[in-house]
């Protein structure tokens, strides 16, 4: 069976078509959730003529089931917890605290690795398009939205190539607009819908960002 998405670059080009209403505007900012969201966002940034930057978020994996998100942490110390998962797995506050501390260290490492000394972008009064290569539970995207709201953007648009229907509906209550190209059921996993979903290195992310930042000056 031919999968709907060839790779992340293709996903970005498809999303750019769906975001044409924002092309050429001076108040647009594209924010990528690394690592996977960066090549998707780079295509969107290029095709819309909009600046690209990062929205750093770390998933809080449940103890013993690290792939299952019990919450997420975003730049600025914003934390979002999925209380249902925390309760169902009987995760105590100490375990949540230790997981948060560990992921915050990694978030800070990535901030330094990807951005270096580059200043954070201005969010206030801008239309921010949050981009990832897909959404599963939505925990990281929810943390990103919550962190951005504190900086008073004019509008938050979530743009992803693939996501489950129920997660899209949840995000519509938090963002001003949600664009998801494919909403397959059963969802299974993000990588299930890509022909190429290979992992990205820090160097590949940094290279993509350097390219975008050189172009925008």
For residue range 79-121, list pLDDT tens digits in order.
888 888 899 999 999 999 999 999 999 999 988 899 888 888 8
Bridge partners (DSSP) listed for residue 131 = 32, 159
Residue 120, both tokens = 């954070």
Mean pLDDT, the chain, whole residue set: 91
**pTM of this structure:** 0.87
Tens digit of pLDDT for each residue in 122-150? 999 999 999 999 999 888 899 899 889 98
Residues 24-39 pLDDT 10s = 999 999 999 999 999 9
């Amino acid at each position: 069976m031919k999968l709907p998405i060839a790779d992340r670059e293709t996903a970005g080009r498809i999303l750019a078509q769906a975001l044409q209403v924002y092309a050429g505007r001076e108040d647009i900012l594209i924010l990528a959730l690394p690592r996977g969201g960066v090549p998707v966002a780079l295509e969107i940034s290029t095709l819309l003529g909009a600046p690209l930057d990062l929205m750093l978020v770390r998933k809080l994996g449940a103890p013993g089931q690290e792939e299952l998100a019990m919450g997420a942490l975003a730049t600025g110390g914003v934390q979002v917890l999925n209380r249902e998962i925390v309760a169902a797995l009987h995760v105590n506050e100490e375990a949540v605290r230790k997981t948060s501390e560990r992921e915050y260290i990694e978030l800070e490492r990535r901030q330094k690795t990807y951005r270096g000394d580059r200043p954070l972008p201005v969010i206030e009064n801008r239309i921010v398009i949050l981009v990832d290569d897909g959404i599963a539970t939505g925990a990281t995207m929810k943390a990103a939205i919550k962190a951005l709201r504190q900086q008073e953007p004019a509008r938050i648009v979530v743009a992803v190539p693939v996501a489950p229907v129920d997660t899209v509906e949840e995000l519509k209550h938090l963002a001003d607009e949600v664009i998801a190209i494919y909403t397959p059921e059963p969802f299974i996993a993000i990588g299930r819908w890509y022909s190429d979903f290979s992992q990205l290195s820090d160097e590949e992310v940094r290279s993509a960002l350097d390219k975008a930042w050189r172009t925008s000056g």
